[in-house]
A and B are shown apart, each in its own frame.
Chain A
Amino acid sequence: EAAVTQSPRNKVAVTGGKVTLSCNQTNNHNNMYWYRQDTGHGLRLIHYSYGAGSTEKGDIPDGYKASRPSQENFSLILELATPSQTSVYFCASGERGENTLYFGAGTRLSVL
């Protein structure tokens, strides 16, 4: 079965600090995605990737960077965290041409 693992599951950061959220998938999927989930906004796409070495901007990329060093790993980086980035972040993977997404369990980030 598809497996997407996010770490950490919970994170408390200080304003202005750097935060890295990690995602690992064992599905050998080409596509990976980072979403954030906020009450009243559903899921919003931050960055996505079509494969190792590629990253694309989603709908709300400002304040975030992404890195896809390998097929399995996709990181989301907050260089200067702000309280507005407090949210639950989900990573997902999917096969190219097959739109079903497989989600991780989420990372709850609080920026104080």
Chain B
Amino acid sequence: AQSVTQPDARVTVSEGASLQLRCKYSYSATPYLFWYVQYPRQGLQLLLKYYSGDPVVQGVNGFEAEFSKSNSSFHLRKASVHWSDSAVYFCAVSPNNNRIFFGDGTQLVVKP
């Protein structure tokens, strides 16, 4: 079955530390890949997306993600987190142009 897995329900890091949020997918072909962020009491907002080309894609607010075909992964990274990055992060995949499937989300807590 097609799936998106975010293995970490919650990640806690100190402000200024680096961050990696993990995402793995299972599709036969390379799908469109996304990371969305949800701040408290808001809808989801797109951070970045990937379909082809350079496997490292840059997003907003210093976030980037790296696609690995061999590992079927699309991990999100940031070199130095800020307290305002505290939010829930969703990995999502789209095997076609109309349906998007979301992971369960990872709650990021940034400690001062």
Q: List residues of chain A with CB under 8 Å of any chain B CB.
A: 4, 31, 35, 40-43, 45, 48, 50, 90, 92, 96-101, 103-106
Contact A99–B43 (Cβ < 8 Å): no
On whether the beta carbons of B104 and A31 are closer than 8 Å, the reply is: no
A103 touches B44 (CB 8 A): yes
The distance in angstroms between the C-alpha atoms of A35 and B100, with both chains bound, is 11
The A-B contact count (CB < 8 A) is 50
What's the Cα separation between A99 and B105 when bound, in Å?
A: 19
Q: Contact check, A100 vs B104: say whether CB atoms are below 8 A apart.
A: no
Spell out B's residues near A (CB within 8 Å). Answer: 32, 34, 36, 41-46, 49, 90, 94, 97-105
Cβ A99 vs Cβ B103 within 8 A: no
Q: List, in ascending order, chain B residues with CB within 8 A of A100's CB.
A: 34, 46, 49
Residue of A nearest to B44 (CB): A103
Cβ–Cβ contact A97 & B97, under 8 A? yes
Q: In whole angstroms, how far apart are the Cα atoms of A60 and B94 in the complex? A: 18
